Amino acid sequence: MSEHGTRYVVVGAGLAGASAAAAVRESDPDAVITVLGEEPHLPYERPGLSKDYLQGDSDAAGLAVHDAGFYDDQRITVRPQVRVTELDRAAHEVVTADGERIGYDRLLLATGSAPRRLPVPGADLAGVLTLRTLEDSDAVKDAIAAGGPLVVVGAGWIGLEVASAARSAGVDVTVVHDAAVPLERVLGEAVGRRFADLVTAAGVTLIGQAEVAGLTGTGHVDGVQLADGRTLPAATVVLGVGVNPRTELAEAAGLQVDDGVVVDATFRTADEAVFAVGDVARAHNEWIGEAVRLEHFAAASDGGPVAGRAMAGREGARWAVPPFFWSDQFGVGLEYRGWADPARHHVVVRAGAPASQTGTPWFAFWHEAGRLVAGLHVDGWDDADTVKDLVSSHAVVDVARLADPGVPLADVRA
């Protein structure tokens, strides 16, 4: 501890880091708090980068986690454009790219994740884009404005949101992916099939079970070659093929990493001075009863404050809320709460109309012997609170009633 107070250093000026820093201040009035971030911005929220910001409906100021005045008021020093290159646990210091050594009493790794590239020829051509930062979103926005054809590789949330934004701008879009249906890994085949209907009804060409063999072009991309011999013309390619947690500092410092920095329900590593939270962390979630690494806004905004309080030594700060995320695409809004493994949990789809009929709510629930573990609503806003209650309480349901859209959701408990 310094003579002025405990020194808290946060590496990563994103949502998780900013939320943790604010919670440290609430818990420790004397704390000396420094947030180091390599980007040239104050912490900002990323969901809009593939939604309203990408579509030109909001500006960069609207993405800020807090305005600059907040950090001044809270006596939180945020240092943009400072990249940490080493964590020296023995000395209790981090080292920056400029060689500066910054001492800590408590350290938080909130370094997020980085988009994967494709290990194929041509992946580094101009016009092959990924989407993580404000600048990435600006580049995708410019590419959409320049017109298509646009090929999106990957049918996860970000890939589909980019496809949706491009379609609304009238661009010719093809989504190529390796599963049978979009979102299959997160939602399973039955629910993914409904998204396939939604996406194709919007005029997107969907090519599933496809492998990208290479990207063609001289200097700038002009096509996507598939392993089956087809070539798709492309003015721009957006890669939405997942992210890797930025665990490199933790790994080099000898901390346990298993697709994420391994931490307990207080976000503490085996080193009691070092914590990790957000996309980079594999944390024990007490509501699920398992350790998970989630790439969700809520994991950062719920987890950050827990990590901040735990670092400041507050009792009872533990990650025990159900995971949550949302998406907006192709004219629908959706919310998913809980956590399901489609390979392990049973799914019940509750729908009275095809997914392409937007405006008609539909639902999916995942359960284990009737005990709910996750729920999704698509435009089911009138029932959103009921879905939240059912899932959060792990309600035990009558599966036949749950599947019947004629039975009110409030009456599906067994």
Ligand X SMILES: Cc1cc2nc3c(=O)[nH]c(=O)nc-3n(C[C@H](O)[C@H](O)[C@H](O)COP(=O)(O)OP(=O)(O)OC[C@H]3O[C@@H](n4cnc5c(N)ncnc54)[C@H](O)[C@@H]3O)c2cc1C
Residues that bind ligand X (CB under 6 A): 11-17, 36-39, 46-47, 49-50, 83-84, 110-113, 131-132, 158, 246, 249, 278-280, 295-298, 300, 325-327
What is the closest distance, in whole angstroms, from the C-beta atom of residue 316 to ligand X in the complex? Answer: 23
b/e burial code for range 81-95 (CB count within 10 A of at least 16 → b): ebebeebebeebbbb
CB-nearer residue toward ligand X: 49 or 387: 49
CB of 17 to ligand X, least distance (A): 6
Q: How far is the CB of 398 from ligand X (least distance, A)?
A: 30
To ligand X, the closest distance from the beta carbon of 325 in angstroms equals 3
| Spatial CB neighbours of 39, under 8 Å, sequence gap ≥ 6 | 13, 80, 81, 133, 134
Closest CB 40 distance from ligand X, rounded Å: 10
CB nearer ligand X, residue 118 or residue 395: 118
Read off the tokens for 133. 């930062």
- Taking the least distance from each CB to ligand X, the nearer of 131 and 332 is 131
CB proximity list for 59: less than 8 A, separation 6 or greater? 53
In the bound state with ligand X, the residue whose beta carbon lies nearer, of 387 and 402, is: 387
Neighbours of 161 (CB within 10 A): 23
- Give whichever of 148 and 278 is closer to ligand X, judged by the CB atom: 278
Whole-number minimum distance, CB 74 to ligand X, in Å? 17
What's the closest the beta carbon of residue 277 comes to ligand X, in angstroms?
A: 7
Q: Which of residues 261 and 348 has its CB atom nearest to ligand X in the complex? A: 261
Burial 233-265 (b: 16+ CB within 10 A, else e): ebbbbbbbbebebbbbbbeebebebeebbbbbb
Task: Pick the closer one to ligand X by CB: 240 or 342.
Answer: 240
**Token digits for 119?**
């290990």
Q: Which long-range contacts (CB under 8 A, 24 or more apart) does 219-223 make?
A: 219/125, 219/126, 220/125, 220/126, 220/127, 221/122, 221/125, 221/126, 221/127, 221/128
Pairing of β 205-207 and β 212-218: unpaired
How far is it, in rounded angstroms, from Cα 214 to Cα 227?
8
